[in-house]
Structure 1
């Protein structure tokens, strides 16, 4: 690949409530933003800003939602929680890795979903949890 083509490299995003800085690593072994289950053995991220916005808005905690541009430090795979269970293929461009994500920058100008749409999504997440179907693989 020529150096001119690198300006078109894929960007990846991670939505959370964690306060991170460029150079920080997002690593496995921490609690999920969405469940109280055991610590995760994967880190999750997406190539669409919309998916990261959902992550930031739905993440547990009381801090503000944050979105980071991240760089995988190792191999990545499609996120089966979205691709296999909810949508054929990977239209949300959601991924996971067992290796760390390096924070490159914070996305500071983003618009959240309308309040009524966010409430619907929160109700869906609560319903899945109540049904025992909120498992993150």
Structure 2
């Protein structure tokens, strides 16, 4: 219905998306890109969070060689809890992680944030590799 405002959990919050893509305010992040965490199959959802910490993980774990970036985004359609985290790892969604089939509009960039310590990041990457080797489905 034209003119309806997109809705979802944490409506009104500031939302973030961590990546290595070099984008600009006004650009759209959309589903259909390869996953950073699985077999690089195009995803039917775009993922984001209302927690800066989750976006830090997103950009640090993103594939590619580009600079780590955290964009401030605005959903253009309805969004939902991310079941990859909320149902499987963190019931109640304390990571404030969401997904949408509609694009996210970039409205800004977080210029300064604290990265994880190298040993913490290495441990997370090793854990993801272990899960992948065990055949775990990391992302839906």
User: 1: CA distance between counterparts of 2:64 and 2:131?
Assistant: 19
1:116 matched to 2:128: no
1:102 deviates by 0.2
Superposed counterparts of 1:91-102, under 5 Å: 91-102=94-105
1:83 matched to 2:86: yes
Q: 1:33 aligned to 33, 36, 41, which one?
A: 36
Kindly indicate whether the alpha-carbon contact (under 8 Å) linking 1:77 and 1:95 is maintained by their aligned counterparts in 2.
yes
1:69 deviates by 0.2
1:88 deviates by 1.0
1:47 matched to 2:50: yes
User: 2: CA distance between counterparts of 1:33 and 1:19?
Assistant: 16
Partner residue in 1 for 2:133: 130
1:35 deviates by 2.2
**RMSD between aligned residues:** 1.3
Kindly indicate whether the alpha-carbon contact (under 8 Å) linking 2:17 and 2:70 is maintained by their aligned counterparts in 1.
yes
Q: Name the SS of the counterpart of 1:118 in structure 2.
A: helix
User: 1: CA distance between counterparts of 2:27 and 2:33?
Assistant: 14
1:118 deviates by 0.6
Instruction: Compare the two structures and name the one with the higher helix fraction.
Output: 1
Kindly indicate whether the alpha-carbon contact (under 8 Å) linking 1:45 and 1:52 is maintained by their aligned counterparts in 2.
yes
Structure 2 segments unaligned to the other structure (5+ residues): 1-11
Write out per-residue CA displacement over residues 18-39 of structure 1, whole angstroms, 9 at most, x where no aligned residue.
0010000001111112222420
Q: TM-score, normalised by structure 1?
A: 0.91
